Amino acid sequence: MELSIIFEYAPMLLQGLQLTIVISIGGIICSLTLGSVLVALSRSGIRALVILVRVYTEIILGIPVLVLLYLIYFVLPEVGIRFAEIPTGLLTLTLYYSPYMAEIIRGAINAIPTGQIEAARTVGMSNFQIAKRIMVPQALGLAIPPLTGICIGLVKDSALLSIISVHEFAYQTKQAVARTFAPFELWAFVALCYWAILSIWEVVMRKVERRVTRYRETG
Amino acid sequence: MNTNNEAIRAENIFKSFGELTVLRGVSLAVKRGEVVCIMGPSGSGKSTLLRCLNWLSPPTEGTIWLGGEVLGLQETSNGKRVVLPDSKLRRQRSRIGMVFQSFNLWPHRTAIGNVMEGPMIVNGASKIEARRLANEILTRVGLADKVDVYPAKLSGGQQQRVAIARALAMQPEIILFDEPTSALDPELVGEVLDVMKSLATQEITMIVVTHEVEFAKDAADRILFMDEGLIVEEGSPLEFLENPKEERSRQFLERYLN
């Protein structure tokens, strides 16, 4: 085993890691945004929009993320819609993960007892004030654990973008392995990096969750 | 119609949920400062009536006046009645307080946070102003030492007193109580009833749905008895509790007095 290979290729690998982080954060922000929009649409009460969200969700839930990536990268250009590699990756992650985000947000909102909302109405609060002051602060605490899980899935799936030559962490590693013929050292290093980053993320989010749900403590 | 000294008046209120008709033409008028208790078996429409009176559950038919002003509806120029715009309805709602059976406090806000919310968010009071007001009201309901405590750490009786304080903070023209002690452990009922009794003596207009006969006797100016979606009897506590006219009232009271 030669650890020197890792040091030698570190700049190249870290460049990939950087792109992985950027794409992941972008993907999380975009899919959370689209997920929130899906929830808003499905709660709008407008039948056509509700059905549209349902159909979209059903389609996405039935397609593997890899197939979605191929559809966007190889099939859409056939009908004249063409994206570069990184936008394709972002779009895939956003489209694929937004229904899952929506489901989590919807669940968190539904978990807030209607009595609390009625109490807010009797005080004279508007729907927007109720959402902002009563629902969001509580839904946040309820949604953080499942959102953390789904975000971890998104980060891991971003490695699939190496298939369409996005120069992210896994792609850069593949390149390094091709040059050095040292798969063990490099892939072990990459696995360790993914694991370390995601574990830290999980611990941090657990702390955040505890902080925003402190009001529930009875002791 | 002279409605000057009336806090609220309801005329011929019907309420249906699909096939089920819960209210079948209820009329009542409550004077300013009056305390009215509504009694009756479960399913008689008491809670539904309260929820109509603050438009949480708009009546299917009938009219409600809040201090002489039609609640929840407005007349267009050609005389048709349409739903009031949300902003105006919210203004009206803020004039009617409500205390729920299950407290319905906001668990992510402390006791004082729950009480400050309305004055701050709805009335636009400053934080300092709202805090001063909330402190004063929480002291009135005996919770001066619990202002910064979250609801999860309060007993049921304390939570309900915070809920009463939350309603009081809006300085409403009337407060509706929907079985405020029914969800409480027996030993906690007294502290909530004591607060309500003291409000009753302070010229606060109250409509109280309750099974607490003793409270009704001490605090009510008038008792309404409901059954099957109608007010079937009304009278002073003495008249109603000692000498009910209707057979249904008698049967009901026999159960609750023993």
Pick the CATH number of A4-218 from 1.10.3720.10, 3.20.20.70, 3.40.1190.20, 2.30.130.10: 1.10.3720.10
Interface contact A137-B90, CB threshold 8 A: no
Which 8-state DSSP code applies to residue B38?
E
* Predicted TM-score of the model (pTM): 0.87
Q: Is the dihedral of CA B150, B156, B158, B161 positive or negative?
A: positive
Nearest-by-Cβ selection for B170 from A121, A123, A127:
A123
For the CA atoms of chain A, what is the radius of gyration? 21
Interface contact A116-B106, CB threshold 8 A: yes
What pLDDT, on the 0 to 100 scale, is given for residue B75? 82
pLDDT confidence bin for B254, thresholds 50/70/90: confident
Query: Strand, coil or helix: what is A200?
Result: helix
Per-residue pLDDT of chain A (219 residues; tens, 9 = 90+): 678 888 888 899 999 999 999 999 999 999 999 999 999 999 888 999 999 999 999 999 999 999 999 999 999 999 999 999 999 999 999 999 999 999 999 999 999 999 999 999 999 999 999 999 999 999 999 999 999 999 999 999 999 999 999 999 999 999 999 998 889 999 999 999 999 999 999 999 999 999 999 998 887
Kind of pairing between the strands at B96-99 and B81-83: unpaired
Average pLDDT, chain B: 93
Query: Strand, coil or helix: what is B15?
Result: strand
Interface contact B56-A125, CB threshold 8 A: no
pLDDT above 70: residue B110: yes
Q: Where are the domains of chain A?
A: 4-218
Interface contact B118-A125, CB threshold 8 A: yes
Q: What is the crossing angle of helices B186-200 and B156-169, to 10°?
A: 20
Beta carbons within 8 Å of A87's beta carbon, 6+ residues apart? none
ipTM of the complex: 0.93
Tens digit of pLDDT for each residue in B184-203? 999 999 999 999 999 999 98
Tens digit of pLDDT for each residue in B207-227? 999 999 999 999 999 999 999
Nearest-by-Cβ selection for A115 from B97, B100, B117:
B100
Whole-angstrom distance, CA of residue B30 vs CA of residue B26: 13
What pLDDT, on the 0 to 100 scale, is given for residue A5? 86
User: Residue B158, exposed/middle/buried by CB under 10 A (0-12, 13-18, 19+)?
Assistant: buried
Interface contact B93-A118, CB threshold 8 A: no
Q: Report B:193-252 residues touching A (Cβ under 8 A).
A: none
Which 8-state DSSP code applies to residue B85?
P
User: Is residue A162 within a helix (H) or strand (E), and if so which, with residue range?
Assistant: none
Phi, psi of B14 (to 5 degrees): -115, 145
